Amino acid sequence: MRALARAISLVEKRDPAVRELEDALRSDARIPGVAGFTGAPGTGKSTLVDAVVAFLRKQGSSVAVIATDPNSPFTGGAILGDRIRMQRHALDEKVFIRSMGARGHLGGLSLATREAIRLLGAFGFDQVILETVGVGQSELEVAAVADTTVLVLTPNLGDSVQMIKAGILEIADVFAVNKSDIDGHARVVAELRTMINMGPKTVWRPPIVPTIATRAEGVDKLWEAVLQHRKHLESSGRAHELVERRLRDETAEVAAEIARQRARRALEEDAALAERLFSDGTPYRTAEEILDRKR
């Protein structure tokens, strides 16, 4: 666990040792299935993720949870109320929980998250759950990194209207209607169904699963829906496509990050180059020159 935590910290800090780490893990570069949980605050998302973790542990799977908060500058530690969760699972070696903030990551949260997921795979975790905190961009980031995106809603109409406005429903592969013991549950399910029917005709029709996270109800059905979606990804060839596309994206982002660092270093070490940039005001030419230098 400590080795893993340290490895993720290296990834977050963009330590040069990451490349060596990557090489060392090369043969183990198995990428685990990633389920992303997203939804507005107050939908009981964290409680639901907790219930899923408990469910998976009962089945004997090891589970890693990455909680991302794009609005938090902090990273690495126990933020977002994870202290409580961590305590609950503190003695369980098969549960790994990690919070990642966004601001520290030059290459963006998705890049750091993807790298962390590869590490989790190499360390043998069976399931990875990605949980977002906050609103806005974070939902889209989850969809970009997760194989299956679970959108958590409640019978509270406000949620769903907000979500529709934000265009967020479109990214859902599975809907969890949580707190399904309170009023309005049937209406939200009906609304969602209408919406799915009105949407584009796709091969995968997002299932709607009612849950009561506080009593762990519906969690088995929810996980079944996630596995079904995963199977659909596999059989349609989409899973393979996703892995390849992500590796391409990741390579492009890592290249960008390396180039950024090279440019900064060159401008620090080469006073003549910096002077020319300042007097001419030509960042394009300077950037090209730096990248084309023999190393």
Q: Which stretch binds a second copy (CB under 8 A): 53-61, 176-184, 204-212, 262-270?
A: 262-270
| Footprint on residues 107-126 left by a second copy (CB under 8 A) | 118
Q: What is the DSSP string of 173-216?
A: SEEEE-STTSTTHHHHHHHHHHHHHHS---SS---EEE-BGGGT
Q: How far is CA 164 from CA 113, 152, 264, in A?
A: 26, 13, 42
* Residue 241 contacts a second copy per CB under 8 A: no
Nearer to a second copy, 49 or 277 (CB): 277
Of these, 57, 185, 193, 262, which contacts a second copy (CB under 8 A)?
Answer: 262
Count CB atoms within 10 A of the CB of residue 243. 12
Kindly identify the residues of this chain, within the stretch 133-162, that bind a second copy according to CB under 8 A.
136
Minimum distance, C-beta of residue 260 to a second copy, in the bound complex (Å): 4
Q: Which two tokens stand for residue 140?
A: 């889209």
Indicate whether 260 belongs to the interface with a second copy (CB under 8 A). Answer: yes
Instruction: Using the minimum distance from each CB to a second copy, give the nearer residue, 28 or 224.
Output: 28
Determine if 78 is a binding residue for a second copy (CB under 8 A).
Answer: no
CA distance linking residue 51 with residue 45, whole number of Å: 10
| Residue 135 C-beta: closest distance to a second copy, Å | 10
Residue type, 223: W
Q: What is the DSSP letter of 217?
A: B
- The answer to the question of residue 282 lying near a second copy (CB under 8 A) is yes
- Torsions phi, psi of 35, nearest 5? -105, 120
Q: Does 242 bind a second copy (CB under 8 A)?
A: no
Q: How many CA atoms lie within 13 A of 64 on its CB side?
A: 26
Q: Which residues bind a second copy (CB under 8 A)?
A: 18-19, 22-23, 26, 29, 31, 118, 136, 243-244, 247-248, 250-260, 262-264, 267, 274, 277-278, 280-288, 290-292, 295
